[in-house]
Amino acid sequence: MGRTAPRDTFGYNTKFEKIQASRFGSVESGYNFSGDLIGRDNWLAVCNSDSKGVLEPKNYPAFYFAYNYGSDFYNLNSEFNNGWYLPSVSELYAVFENKEVLQKSLNAVGGFDFGNNWYWSSSQASSANEGVYGVSFIKGEVSNNYKYCPAGYVIVFHDLNLHEF
């Protein structure tokens, strides 16, 4: 399954007000963000706007992948089947800023390599209906990309505040 929205869908053509973000800064100076800072509720905001379209995974493939990550893809124990989400652009950029430390931890447990890849966020650019922010893990560029762009990867987050240890 691809990670991009088809051009003829509601999701592609809609500016979701509750998940919009703005970026300030540059690769050289670093970025700051306003608006959508936490991605945990972004899928719910999309579902509330397009209750019929969200039933079809191809309309929101990256969101669908994240939402179903624990149960559909890795059959994690029931405690962690739910609660997965696509990070906001602010959260994703924080991963980039800390990728060296995070990569060491991932390597220690046999996890994946961030590599020099481009990753999708769940934050919609406030400047265009069809734009979503992504972060390049090469130099940390934050760019506004079309929702139909076939390139890129996703990182899923889990809200650990939902569980007691």
Read off the pLDDT of residues 44-77 as tens digits, 9 standing for 90 and up: 998 888 877 777 777 788 888 888 887 766 655 6
Structure tokens of 138? 């090469």
Backbone torsions φ then ψ of 76, nearest 5 degrees: -70, 165
**Alpha-carbon span 146 to 149, nearest angstrom:** 5
**Alpha-carbon span 120 to 143, nearest angstrom:** 10
Give the chain's mean pLDDT: 83
Mean pLDDT in residue range 132-136: 92
pLDDT, position 129: 63
H helical segments located in 18-59: 42-49
**Which has the minimum average pLDDT: 33-42, 45-54, 66-75, 117-126?**
66-75
Beta-bridge partner residues of 124: 20, 132
> Is the pLDDT assigned to residue 108 strictly greater than 80?
yes
